[in-house]
Copies of this chain bind each other. A is one copy, B any other.
């Protein structure tokens, strides 16, 4: 039974049937809403899935639309202008596994997305919701990656964009976010302040007809992260890994990967088996990790201070759900300091030729820490996520990643520099 009747027969969200409150289960018709009016809990997309086969999926496009029957998007989504994110590489990381003493390790490398972060996945779903609701402007609050993803997606789709960022972001992310021609607004404040400002804007006439991908379109947007779970399972040969290490910013991605795995099991696309989910944070913004270690169910907000700016969300909306999933699956939430983040970026680059942004340094650093502490089983099949690109956070390694020498173009100069 749908409580708020915003039903519109022109809407086409494919298999999505309603929004459902994660806390109290109240159902709503599909609309640009994100919080339960009964209990203020977050809303998420509920589905009536039809039959889906592995063969059908394998015959689909090499992007997230191969899973369109599992997402809140119309059946013809492929034919509409969008960035076609996803189907990024799952890299068998034997060199890194060898260094860490793991038997079987894979890196899901989402730096291969169009704007080089996993955000292209979630924005692509939000874009379809914006089209459904007739919004003309795509908007967001962002720690950087999302700003670029929204700007690029809006450009391809022919929508306006207006994105809001904290003014202290990395230069690369600022330039990238504004090059697509939309409006970029820098806010003197933390990400959490930017986020609160966006919520205000939605209530104002200024924000009418605006789709804030991570606010009023959040239920749809968040579903995009399920595609990480689908791809990992399919790329492993339709199998869920034993252990997976996922970065935690708002926590949404981790909860949706868990949701994706459970859907695959329910649909009979993979075998039902246990898996452990581990969350990774930076020490300078580790409210969820702190709560996990203290045995708490609630998350105490913090003021972020870390080089991992894409994870610098001090008041993570899905923190409690992350705690629940880590505990339920037998995983954990751990954090690493900025020095360990830089070391992990360099370790990953040196062993696998993958240049990750600081968020990837956090997950690989936590992978190392959890392996050393024995929390991860070295014999179990393990996946670690890299959700962004090192080119966007060059400052983290620039001081250390320098030429070995600057010489004149002569053999003599080369000999002098490198003969010992």
Contacts and interface: CB of A to CB of B under 8 A. Distances in A.
A304 interface: no
Given A189-B408, A389-B391, A403 B178 contact: yes
A273 interface: no
Contact of A391 (B116, B155, B181, B200): B116
A180 interface: yes
B206 A414 contact: yes
Contacts of A394: 171-172, 175-176
Given A351-B155, A353-B156, A389-B391, A206 B407 contact: no
Most chain B CB within 10 A, of A87, A186, A353, A354, is at: A353
A407 B180 contact: no
A112 B398 CA distance: 23
A388 to B, nearest CB: 11
Interface residues of A, number: 77
B346 A155 contact: no
B411 A179 contact: no
A409 B196 CA distance: 8
A362 interface: no
A193 B409 CA distance: 7
Contact of A81 (B94, B180, B397): B94
A365 interface: no
A294 interface: no
Contacts of A411: 197, 200-201, 204, 206
B114 A116 contact: no
B349 A155 contact: yes
Contacts of A194: 409
A111 B172 CA distance: 16
A352 B155 contact: yes
A264 to B, nearest CB: 21
Nearest to A153: B353
Contacts of A346: 179, 181
A184 to B, nearest CB: 5
A317 interface: no
A355 B179 contact: yes
Contacts of A84: 89
Contact of A187 (B189, B200, B409): B409
A389 B389 CA distance: 12
Contacts of A87: 62
A288 B84 CA distance: 36
A176 B407 contact: no
A375 interface: no
23 contacts: A116-B389, A116-B391, A152-B354, A153-B353, A155-B350, A155-B351, A174-B401, A178-B401, A178-B402, A179-B401, A180-B349, A181-B346, A185-B417, A186-B407, A188-B406, A189-B409, A193-B409, A197-B410, A201-B414, A204-B411, A206-B411, A206-B415, A391-B391
Given A176-B391, A179-B401, A188-B409, 20 more contacts: A81-B94, A95-B155, A155-B351, A155-B352, A167-B406, A171-B394, A174-B403, A176-B401, A178-B402, A179-B397, A180-B349, A186-B405, A187-B406, A193-B409, A194-B409, A197-B411, A200-B410, A201-B414, A204-B411, A206-B414
Shortest beta-carbon contacts, A-B, top 10: A152-B353, A181-B350, A156-B353, A155-B353, A197-B409, A391-B391, A186-B403, A178-B401, A179-B401, A186-B406
